Structure 1
Amino acid sequence: MGTREILSLQFGHYSNFIGTHWWNTQETSFEYNATSPAEINHDILFREGSTRSGQVTFTPRLLLVDLKGSLRTLPERGTLYESPPKSSEIDTNWKPSATETKINEPEQKNVFQEDLENSQITDFSKRCYNLESDVEVWSDFLYTRFHPRTVNIIKEYEHENKDSQFDVFPLGTAMWRSEQFEEDFSDKIRNYIEECDNFQGFHITLDASNAFAGLASSCIEYVRDEYERKSVLAFPVIPSSYSDYAYVTDEEKHQSLIKDSIRVLNLALCFNSLNEHSSLFLPLCTSYNGWRQPGPMRNFYHLVYNYQLPYHTSAILASALDTITLKYRLRSTDFHLSDLCADLNIFGRKAAATSLCLPFSFNKGSDFIDCLDNWDGPLSQSISPNCIIGTDKLMQTFTLRGIPEDRLKRPLQNAGKQKDMPAYRCNSVNEMLSLYLSCNYFISATNVTTVTKGLSVKTPYPSIFDPFVGTDGNINNTPRPEHLKVESVPTLAGIHSGACVGDMIESLHTEANKIKVPRFHQFVNAGLESDEFSECLHKLFDLRECYVESDYI
């Protein structure tokens, strides 16, 4: 069957926040010296290598892109294979009399990063960190170490530089067309793929509301041309808050409203490009609206998070991505990424919605049959913008992790009222969840995957679970002691295709249709013409028409 390798690409600062949590979550769940093979085949997303000294490494099969100044203490080539030379050690052969030396103070590492360098520390859960205030960029909480080719920095633009912003879609497409970037990045993609035995496709996470949307879209167009038989699953992500929302003056408020319109234009262009070139794309946002204003935050039972912290919201989205992709990352399956895309993108329905239940509320000492019988409302909630997922006429897949089979139901002699339930005849978590979904989703085709192992939420995952979530993720009647941390949680995530996705696309089309492109000189100067944007809107409307209920299922 082969390894079924996938290459991951990340474009943009918020995407790299999400990716950092995703890689951290996987690595903190690695099972070393296990008596039996792990359920998850980590070789699909990670690669084995070796340093020049012969040390074996296991790093993400990953390329990421960000702006100058976004790494802080992380060297661009990482620290795993080689240490960057000190400036005093670099021999330039320049005459001292012809040079002027300016010394920049090195960035200071936070306590967590300092501890990572300390080989004496092996259990980070016993350490106290204040990452909520320490994290400024994604590398501040990076646990996983990267291959030297992983990090790619755009030096023409600087992170959070208000005078020269990488903020409009055409700037991204122009950056891809620059000879140096396209050739270098394409070579790195090719190098990764040539290492693979049974390469199956791409995971691409991209900031959808700025110029990284244009850069990623151009890259996706390239990989579809070069590797046309390989699947491309794209995750356009939208932050739940932007720094310009902290305005004080009327002028700052006016500029923030202009930026909202720019973000809508970027989103429309991005979704149109993903519809044309990706195999399937899943828009993600922890706020309800997502377009002009992200809107109010989504609430999850037993979850307490700050929607203004990318460190928090990106952890939620990364948890969803790690869970929904398990279906084709298990050792026990021959299911492929292409199978998932084919199941959900029929008749041109390239967009799908995503839902999440984090943590899945499973009371300590209870049985799964009672958990489902007492459940009120939908099992999971949408994390796609402007998308309310219904309960009928859906093509969908659910993945549930962290529910052990020995807590399915009580033995017959102790079953009590359980034995009178139809679900008591089920003999596995998968079978019982499938029965529950068939009773609650009508005229729908639902596929279920279950995994015994829960989601790893060890340090540096943020402390966003309320006190009633136990260390094992079960819900307790009493608060857990403050010195104990949650280590893993049951999680449910789903992908859904139905009329609700058409409503999402229609809402974006409506918002984008209100904007007069000629008024935004950034787009005009970068080469976007009104006719081109009008065609984009027409194609978005055509995509929306693919989800008409009378044609579904």
Structure 2
Amino acid sequence: MSKEIVTLQFGTYSNFVGSHWWNFQAKQCENRPEVDDELRIDTNSTMQLRKSAAGLRKSIWTPRLISVDFKGSRCHSVIDDDVTVAEKPADTTWQGEIKKYEEAKGSVSNDWSSFLRLQLHPRSVLTLPGSYNNESFELHTSGLDAFRETNISSEIEESLRFFSEECDHCQGFQILCDLHDGFSGLASSTLELIRDDFPKRGIVVAAFPKSHGFSNVDFLSRKRQILSYATALHELASHECLVLPLSLMKRSWEAQPSQFRSFPHISFDAYNPYESSSVFAAGLETFSSCYRSGGINMNYVISCLTSMGRPIASLRLGLPLPARDDVTFRQFLSSYPSFDRDSFVALTPYLDSQSHPFAQCVSVRGISSANQSLNHYLERNYAANLNVSSGHSLGLVTDSSFPLLWPSEYARKGKESEVASMSLLQSSSDAANVLTSLLAESSSHMTLAKVSHHFDQDKIAESHEHLKQLSQNYTQSKPRSASDSSSSSSE
């Protein structure tokens, strides 16, 4: 039985992440059987892709995707009613360099579709009315208003119905959203719509705060933004889903410039959305493999990680995984008494240390026969926790549009464009740091006195009370235990 997934992307930065993520899917489908045959690979990209006619002779894969952005955002690969009228063919491989625009804080590309290798169905591309822009759409409440007052809500609903009704068995939804502006309001409103229409489907939300913090933002604007973050996180976490706050900054809500996370074997410009978004795409591609393999359902992963009222989880990524061909995966794991070394970099803010998880989903890409060794490791080191594990022989396969480079010794033998990776999707008391820090920043009397007129007072009180309760759920209860707590997928 197929277990399709529908993906939604809200906001410019989320669409940057999505473009890199879809390129992983495109690369995995290359040199595979013809589209008329079912693709059977251990990461099963076809759960996220659909077949579209591209003329009389062949079909192509298009994402089961709804992308929302400002009007004027360009999309270079759109098919028209299942007939190709794209500016570039489906099998085009990106050969050029990404065009960059020098700004005060680094090179920034404004066109996420310029490096997207898959074509999109017309129902995938939605834009806000022309009156909305970065300045008028800066708060969570702006998105709530747009959903109520414009036709974007009906367009989203129609696209949702289109992509979901063609599924044989939709297992759930993946939502990527910019947390720092009105797109978080659109996402939370859509999330409520999905939960009403699909009450039993799994939902995973990846939420991205402002990528470079508040270093050039005035005091009152920052305070408005903090309250917007609080109400957004409150609403996203209120709909029985798994929420992942993702940022390369160690601190996301504070006034002073925050340090960025760094990886030991790769370098990138954290201010460049084209480059920084590729890190998150690698993380999403790695951890989502667990429920795209066919052996584990998305709802099972979500239920394991969100039990006892803990919807907020954290993500750590090992990229590239420092495992050599001359060392077995068991030997590699034996050097880790727990997953707390520098090789696993936190993609969630405020994770200064690593506490023992209540539950975790560990996914490995690019290591043959990883499942047995990984299960043995988890049973030995995390016997009292709820563990879900997933190992896949296919690594992360990149092309020339992917900006991250790593030393040649980390590429898989004979495959320079393929690298091993490992993700740790965890529910732990670390999540309380995200919530308590946001509460502290948004609850000051000065904040409420000067900027709360932009928000509904009852909604502010409700969001603060909810976030406070959530933070207590991570600190007052003991980790869940299970006598037989490991589950794995077949490779």
TM range (shorter): 0.7 to 0.9
Distance 1:218 1:153 in 2: 16
Matches within 5 A, 1:82-161: 82-83=84-85, 116=88, 127=95, 129-130=97-98, 135-157=109-131, 159-160=133-134
Change (3 A) 1:78 1:240: farther
The answer to whether residue 188 in structure 2 is matched with residue 237 in structure 1 is no
How many residues get paired?
465
Amino acid in the other structure paired with 1:135: S
Tell me whether 212-221 or 222-231 shows the greater mean CA deviation: 222-231
Matched with 2:489 is none
Cα offset, 1:264, TM superposition = 1.5
| Corresponding residue of 2:198 | 227
The residue matched to 1:29 in structure 2 has which SS? helix
In structure 2, relative to structure 1, the CA distance for the partners of 1:45 and 1:498 (3 Å cut) is same
**How big is the shift at 1:328?**
1.3
Q: 1:374 to 1:338 in 2, by over 3 A?
A: closer
Tell me, yes or no, if the aligned pair for 1:301 and 1:359 is still in contact at 8 Å.
no
1:58 Cα offset (Å): 1.3
2-structure distance, mates of 1:339, 1:381: 25
- Contact 2:396–2:421 under 8 Å retained in 1: yes
1:297 corresponds to: 260
Question: Quick one: distance in 2 between partners of 1:10 and 1:494?
Answer: 23
User: How far apart are the structure 1 equivalents of 2:347 and 2:254?
Assistant: 17
Distance 2:463 2:26 in 1: 40
Q: Which residue of 2 aligns with 1:516?
A: 447
Structure 1 residue 362: Cα displacement: 1.5
Deviations 1:193-241 (A, max 9, x none): 1111111221111111111111111111111112212222111112431
1:369-380 matches, cutoff 5 A: 369-375=330-336, 377-378=340-341, 380=344
Residue matched to 1:271: 233
Q: Does 1:188 align with 2:159?
A: yes
Residues 239 and 358 (structure 1), Cα distance of their counterparts in 2 relative to 1, 3 Å cut: farther
Contact 1:302–1:469 (CA under 8 A) maintained in structure 2: no
SS of 2:28 mapped into structure 1: coil
Q: RMSD of aligned C-alpha atoms?
A: 2.8
- Are residues 1:539 and 2:466 paired? yes
Q: Deviations over 1:257-315 (max 9, x none)?
A: 43332322221111100121142111111121122357211111211111111111111
User: In structure 2, what is the equivalent of residue 401 of structure 1?
Assistant: 365
Equivalent position SS for 2:206: strand
CA distance in 2, matches of 1:239, 1:57: 35
Alpha-carbon distance in 2 for matches of 1:195, 1:123: 29
Q: Secondary structure at the match of 1:282?
A: strand
Query: In the superposition, relative to structure 1, how do residues 465 and 364 fare at CA in structure 2: closer, same or farther (>3 Å)?
Result: farther
**What residue in structure 2 maps to residue 45 of structure 1?**
48
1:431 and 2:372 equivalent? yes
| Contact 2:319-2:421 at 8 Å conserved across structures | yes
Deviation at 1:330, TM superposition (A): 1.1
Q: 1:275·1:350 contact (CA, 8 Å) conserved in 2?
A: yes
Deviations 1:392-420 (A, max 9, x none): 25211100111123xxxxxxxxxxxxxxx
After TM superposition, the structure 1 stretch with the greater mean CA deviation from structure 2, 167-176 or 273-282, is 273-282
Match of 1:505 in 2: 435
Q: Deviations over 1:93-131 (max 9, x none)?
A: xxxxxxxxxxxxxxxxxxxx8xx5597xx665xx46355
Structure 2 CA distance for aligned equivalents of residues 256 and 53 of structure 1: 57
Amino acid at match of 1:230: R
Please tell me the residue identity of whatever aligns with 1:180: N
The structure carrying a bigger strand percent of its residues is 2
Distance 1:259 1:134, change over 3 A: closer
- In 2, distance between residues paired with 1:346 and 1:438? 20
Query: Aligned partners of 1:191, 1:336: CA distance in 2, in Å?
Result: 23
Secondary structure of 1:187's aligned partner:
helix
In the superposition, the TM-score normalised over structure 2's length comes to 0.86
Q: Could you tell me how far 1:430 is from its partner in structure 2?
A: 1.9
How much does 1:62 deviate?
0.5
**Shift in alpha-carbon separation, 1:397–1:362, aligned structure 2, 3 A:** same
Q: Percent identity?
A: 25
Bigger-Rg structure (1/2): 1
> Structure 1 residue 365 and structure 2 residue 326: aligned?
yes
* Separation (CA, whole Å) in 1 of partners of 2:111 and 2:449: 34
Alignment partner of 2:249 out of 287, 298, 322 = 287
Distance 1:262 1:285, change over 3 A: same
Quote the residue 1:174 is aligned against. Answer: 145
Shift of 1:537: 0.4
- How many Å separate the matches in 1 of 2:479 and 2:265? 35
Q: Secondary structure at the match of 2:60?
A: strand
In structure 2, relative to structure 1, the CA distance for the partners of 1:469 and 1:524 (3 Å cut) is farther
- Residue type at the aligned position of 1:166: F
Seen in structure 2, the aligned counterparts of structure 1 residues 140 and 257 have a Cα distance that, compared at 3 Å, is farther
- Normalised by the length of structure 1, the TM-score is 0.77
Q: Which residue of the partner structure matches residue 31 of structure 2?
A: 32
- Counterpart check, 1:315 vs 2:278: yes
CA contact (8 A) 1:517 1:530 kept: no
Task: Tell me the SS of whatever aligns to 1:197.
Answer: coil
Relative distance call for 1:221 and 1:64 in structure 2 (3 A) is same
The residue number in structure 2 matching 1:17 is 16
- Is the partner of 2:375 in helix, strand or coil? helix
Unaligned runs of 5+ residues in structure 2 are: 101-106, 481-491
Q: Deviations over 1:408-442 (max 9, x none)?
A: xxxxxxxxxxxxxxxxxxxxx22222333444447
Q: CA offsets per residue over residues 13-46 of structure 1, 9 Å max, x none?
A: 1110111111011111214345993212222111
How far residue 154 of structure 1 moved from its aligned partner, in angstroms, is: 0.7
2:120 matched to 1:81? no
1:159, 1:21 → 2: CA distance?
A: 24
Contact 2:51 2:62 in 1 (8 A): yes
Q: Which amino acid aligns with 1:537?
A: H
Match of 1:218, SS state, is: helix
The question of 1:461 aligning with 2:402 is answered yes
